[in-house]
Chains A and B, each alone.
Chain A
Amino acid sequence: MSETTEEHPDLESVPLDAPQFEVAARNVKRTEYITFASFILALIAFAAFGAAYTQNASTGIFGLTIGLGLFFFGFGLVSWGKYLMPQGPFSEPRPLMETTEKEKELLKADFTSRGKVAIKRRSFLVKAMAAAGGIFGIVAAFPLIRSLGPLPKNSLMTTKWRKGSYLTTIYGDKVKPSDMEVGGILTVFPEDDLGSAISQTILLRVKESGNIVTMAGREDWAPDGFIAFSKVCTHAGCPVGLYEHLEQLLVCPCHQSMFNVKDGAMPVFGPAPRPLPQLPIYIDSDGYFRARAGYDEPIGPGFWTRGGTA
């Protein structure tokens, strides 16, 4: 592939002893030694990686051997390229991204004139094709999108809590008041929905005895110092598992929304916009906690069809 001077008539104008063709290294010998040494170090490190691998060494050894090997290999390559090759600078011409009017005209003319020939007196073909293609575009989206999952329907509005549901631990045990002392917290589920991301509820023992009235109309929702709230944060849905029992605050670990337990889990700080829904509970004749009813509002974060009331 040798090039001859005939192809480059003005080759003589670039003298090969110009400083641009000198290597960049100040001390060529030393640079060559350093480059050589780094390749040798890389070789040693790669070999060490091989040995470490056969010995099933630790992650640290794996990483250090192969990492240092790659590093020295790269170091050698770069110092070769940077110091032992012509320092330049060189330049190349750059065609600008512009075309002449003539070129534009020609392309446009070709495109439109040929197009006109194709479409001439056949515009009904274009319309039919567009209609078929459009329908295809729409129906093709159905299996791609609609098959992915069910429609939400009512599922975001309700939980498995209903009248008479037992408050049940994750182990399936029904909860009774003696299970918890004042300042206690327990994650409970309806007995038919253990471990549910939606129905998860926290039961708190706020005081020794007496009903807790968080607001008018909830006089008998929290008997004997016990109170239950949805564990799903009304902000972004994280489990609100952090209970400060002296402050009577529930805190969401994700974005630090704070809810005042005594006030019906009203948000007092952070981004949560709505209180945690309160589960009305009672103690049945056998001494077990049960739900008076399900939640009276959708639990968790908001969504478009949730409705307009706070």
Chain B
Amino acid sequence: MDEGRNGMIDAIYNWIDNRLALSKSGRHLLNKIFPDHWSFMIGEIALYSFIVLLISGIFLTLYFVPSEAIVTYHGAYKPLDGMRVSEAYASTINLTFAVRGGLFMRQLHHWAANIFVGSIVVHMLRVFFTGAFRRPREANWMIGATLLILAIFNGFLGYSIPDDLVSGTGIRIAFSILESIPFVGTNLAFFLFGGNYPGTDIIPRFFILHVLILPLIILGLLAGHLGMLVKHKHAQFKGRGARNDNVVGSPLWPNYAAKAGGFFFLTTGVTAILAALVQINPIWQYGPYVPYKVSYAVQPDWYMGWLDGALRVMPAWEIHLPGHMVPNVFFPGILLPGVTFTLIYLWPFIEAKFITHDYSEHHLLDQPRDNPLRTSIGAAVFAFYFVLFGASATDVLANYLQVSLNVVLWVFRISCIVIPIIVFPVAYKICLELQKTPDAGKRKRHVIIVRDPEGAYHSVESAEYVGYVAPELNPVDIEEVDLQPEIDALNTPKETPQDGIYQVPR
């Protein structure tokens, strides 16, 4: 209609296109197909939370002062007025009380971090139980595992830098875990902290790791993760028309752009509403970190909970060698996560070699029931870490349930061995049972009341999906779609029917 404006846009597009040849590859990008299943959106939650983290984090860095220099706080919060605190703590308090929207941004950042790591874990479980890590996606699985480690680490760093009483205690434990590593531990701890605990360098160093170094690595790996996703294209569940050599679903443009774009805003909205209503990490109530002060009920954020739980349930064992020792915290603090992530990294290869003996390329996903051994191993291992996670709250649980703390700890000590042993055969049996009922998990058929010619009523099950056609449609090859006739039809208003812009008269 408006020739001038369209001409301008065309000119800009042509200028860019003549330098990057976008038109050659752009169309394939628009055609990228996303499978229609909700479980493929879990990773997106992580991606969007990461964007929220970047944006809110940029806001926070403008006010946070990463310094352990001692200053006297004077400000809005009376119980801290006149207290000698670190600059890091004082600036976080000022950010909370004196900067407009500061507390909201802090809470948004912290909730987004919780959701970020949480959605990574759920995404990883989906990938594991559906066998999406098999060839050719082993490397992407390993990148994902690395991203999980980095997310956990960066969460811990961010939790630590306000230098409050609760997180400071966590840093002390981190020092103890570092120094427990045989041979190099004490050196590592001294190098990281710039000397014996507490040192004066840890807040600035944690800060630069938290806001620059780890986010950059995460960004790089994320690019690799998504790049490989584009290269391999999405895996997909078995279904009508889905084959190993195609992808069935909705195209990037316009369907998925709208859906995923909307999902970004929905994720952000949920996080913002959470940040509005639920207070997180009220460090003004915790006070500044002072090495000889401590609070009971100190826990790390939930994603470190399994480590804290492991520290608690670990029996009081140490290994003493002539002239040397392996401290207690080494086993739950270093060995356990080391073994955990080594197993996660190697799982695709372990499974192919010992369980499935299948090295071929897979783009069609398993239902968890299809591979009972994988599913039950995964469930048992997950149960183990879930119990450890619960063990990080022994004291809070004992207080809440009014049960002896010692009893609660023993319950967890026993549970972390017994529960996985129970979960394994139960999961295995459930898989086998599900295999026998192929319709399990699908929508139930409608029961229809019919009236026969004599006037009597009967209730009968409908034929499969009567009245619902969408899942039964055959996929249309996106490469063969051209909507130009439809656009032409749109431009001739008389012939356009009232309902549905894509309906074209024959």
Contacts and interface: CB of A to CB of B under 8 A. Distances in A.
Classify A-B as touching or not with yes or no (CB < 8 A).
Answer: yes
Contact of B480 (A8, A79, A94, A98): A8
A74 B233 contact: no
B285 to A, nearest CB: 15
10 contacts: A19-B469, A23-B500, A59-B104, A71-B265, A81-B257, A239-B293, A301-B176, A301-B329, A304-B185, A308-B322
A78 B332 CA distance: 44
Nearest to A307: B323
A5 B482 CA distance: 8
A93 interface: yes
Nearest to B181: A304
Contacts of A102: none
Contacts of B196: 152, 155-156, 198
Interface of A: 1-3, 5, 8, 10-11, 13-14, 16-24, 28-29, 53, 56, 59-64, 66-82, 84-98, 145-146, 148-152, 155-156, 170, 187, 189, 195-198, 200, 231, 235-239, 241-242, 253-257, 267, 269-274, 300-310
Interface residues of B, number: 133
Contacts of B480: 8, 10-11, 13-14
Contacts of B325: 302-304, 306-308
B506 interface: yes
Contacts of A8: 480, 482
Interface string B84-111: 0000000000000000110110011000
A95 B294 CA distance: 59
Contact of B311 (A24, A200, A236, A308): A236
B484 interface: yes
A85 B179 contact: no
Contacts of B500: 22-23, 28
Contacts of A255: 308, 311-312
Contacts of B248: 89-91
A80 B233 contact: no
Contacts of B175: 237
Contact of B241 (A80, A91, A274): A91
Contacts of A53: 100-101
Interface string B307-333: 010011111111011111111110011
Given A150-B190, A302-B325, A310-B318, A197 B477 contact: no
A94 to B, nearest CB: 5
B227 to A, nearest CB: 14
A273 B330 CA distance: 12
Contacts of B194: 148-150
Interface of B: 23, 31-33, 36, 100-101, 103-104, 107-108, 135-136, 169, 172-173, 175-177, 179-183, 185-187, 189-199, 201, 232-233, 241, 244-251, 254-259, 261-277, 290-298, 308, 311-318, 320-329, 332-333, 361, 363, 394-395, 405-406, 409, 469-470, 473-486, 499-504, 506
Nearest to A82: B259
Contacts of A13: 480
